[in-house]
Amino acid sequence: MSCPEFERKGYLYFFKELSRSEREEFKSHLKGCPTCLEELERMKETWRLMERMEQESPTSETRGAILRQARRRNVRTSIGERLRSWVNWWEIHRGLSWGMSAAVVIVILLFVLVRPFERFRPGASIEEETYAWQDDFIAQADWMEQEIDRIESGNLLASYYPSEDDYSEFDEDFVSPLSEDLNRIRGEVENLMETIYGI
Amino acid sequence: MDKRPTDAHLVRSYLAGKNAAFEKLFKRYEKPLFSFVLKFVRERQSAEDIFQQTWLKVLKGLPKYEERGKFSSWLFGIANNCCIDHARGKMRSRVDDAASSEGMDQLRGDDLNPEGMVVKQEQLAVLKKMVEQLPPEQKQVVLLRLYGEVPFKEIASILNSPLNTVLGRMHYAVRNLQKMVKK
């Protein structure tokens, strides 16, 4: 004879799979049911014997084949799996991950608030370079204007022009290009100045 | 407090690239799983094949493994399915082979005959043999509980059977074992 309560709850009780209240309930049932108590004792004895049964191992070839396969599979992971592995890493090293995140946030905040490298901003250096070039241009333009004025005042031309007597023999082509050159230089200087001051 | 890494932790470590984690996990379940398979199929060579097949399925499924239940339940559930597939395949081949009728008994479910065993065996050796000879549906429950330490609710889910059916099978298995050991 057996009690139906044992089949329903006895094994769950034995393997500690009952909730606390169910466990208490079955305990009080055991107190009043010698059949269940006896069955539980027999079950304990049988299971103790079964747990002592020797466990078997696979051959080393089988073991080696599985472990090799495991290593190979871990190398051949897809991008998705790799992504997942990063997530897994993150979960495993939760403390370290939070620490790293906090450090990154602090560094970003420092950059935003203190702006330690502001003077190295690319915009700033271009601006500085532009001003340096502008100064150069102005200096050169000033020098060229002075030279032109000096030429126009006749100091330099006098050395080129022949005497009044020989003027008829003077080759016009010789004077004309010089004047054109001067005008062209002047034009260029004016354009340059306009461009520079336009900046 | 148990400081051993949990199964879930080892799975995550392995997926993060640490092969040693898988080796630990494998070592943890190597013997119980192989014993489960061997007692289920009762043939060493088949057990080796099924054992390997189980782990290959586990390796394939690990990236998608979600820690909904115990790892051991998942692992033994896979092994159980592999064993069933093997038994079905074997049954099919035996049905085809009209000349051989002996092995069908193993799968019929009422093969509890202890005859033919060596009379003066040690109690444990008898028990081992008896477990192997249990009807498959009872053996499944006993082995999953014994080697996989799979809770009955999870066994019910693995076997796709109601909890009461699983408990009933356990009950009859234990009864059968007790009777056979007494003899």
Distance (Å) from the alpha carbon of A98 to chain B's nearest alpha carbon = 18
Task: Give pLDDT, residue B112.
Answer: 37
CA dist., res. B129 & res. B119, Å (int)? 12
Distance (Å) from the alpha carbon of B32 to chain A's nearest alpha carbon = 6
Q: How confident is the model at residue A74 (pLDDT cuts 50, 70, 90)?
A: confident
Residues A58, B181: C-beta atoms closer than 8 Å: no
Decide which of B110 and B75 is more confident.
B75
Task: Give pLDDT, residue A99.
Answer: 86
**A146: amino acid identity, one letter:** Q
Residues B181, A54: C-beta atoms closer than 8 Å: no
ipTM for this model: 0.75
Mean pLDDT across chain B = 79
**Run of H or E residues at A172:** helix A172-198
Greatest Cα-to-Cα distance within chain A, rounded to the nearest angstrom: 156
Q: How confident is the model at residue B49 (pLDDT cuts 50, 70, 90)?
A: very high
Residue among B13, B34, B170 whose CB faces A58 most closely: B34
Task: Give pLDDT, residue A185.
Answer: 76
Indicate the angle between helix axes B136-146 and B19-41, nearest 10 degrees: 150
* Chain B residues touching residue A73 (CB < 8 angstroms): 59-60
CATH number among 1.10.1370.30, 1.10.1740.10, 3.90.1300.10, 1.10.10.10, domain B7-182: 1.10.1740.10
The chain A residues in contact with chain B (CB within 8 A) are 6-8, 10-12, 15, 17, 42-43, 46-47, 49-59, 62-63, 65-67, 69-71, 73-74, 77, 81, 84-86, 88-89, 91-92
For chain A, give the percent of residues with pLDDT over 90: 20
Residues A17, B151: C-beta atoms closer than 8 Å: yes
Locate the domains of chain B by residue range: 7-182
Is the per-residue pLDDT at A162 higher than 60? no
Task: Give pLDDT, residue B92.
Answer: 63
Mean pLDDT across chain A = 76
Task: Give pLDDT, residue B89.
Answer: 76
Is the per-residue pLDDT at A123 higher than 80? no
Question: A15, A39, A59, A73: which to substitute to probe chain B, counting the most B Cβ within 10 Å?
Answer: A73
* Residue reference for tokens 């597939």: B85
Is the per-residue pLDDT at A174 higher than 90? no
CA dist., res. B183 & res. B169, Å (int)? 21
Q: pLDDT (tens digit, 9 = 90+) per residue, A92-104?
A: 777 787 888 888 9
Query: If you ran DSSP here, which 8-state letter would residue B51 be given?
Result: H
Q: How confident is the model at residue B141 (pLDDT cuts 50, 70, 90)?
A: very high
> What are the angstrom distances between the C-alpha of A16 and each of A7, A29, B104, B173?
15, 16, 37, 19
Q: pLDDT (tens digit, 9 = 90+) per residue, A24-48?
A: 999 999 989 999 999 999 899 888 8
**Cβ-Cβ contacts under 8 Å for A26 (sequence gap 6 or more):** A5, A9, A10, A13, A18
> How many Å separate Cα A20 from the centre of its chain?
52
Residue among A49, A65, A74 whose CB faces B19 most closely: A74
Torsion sign (Cα): A167, A173, A179, A185: negative
Is the per-residue pLDDT at A182 higher than 80? no
Task: Give pLDDT, residue A20.
Answer: 92
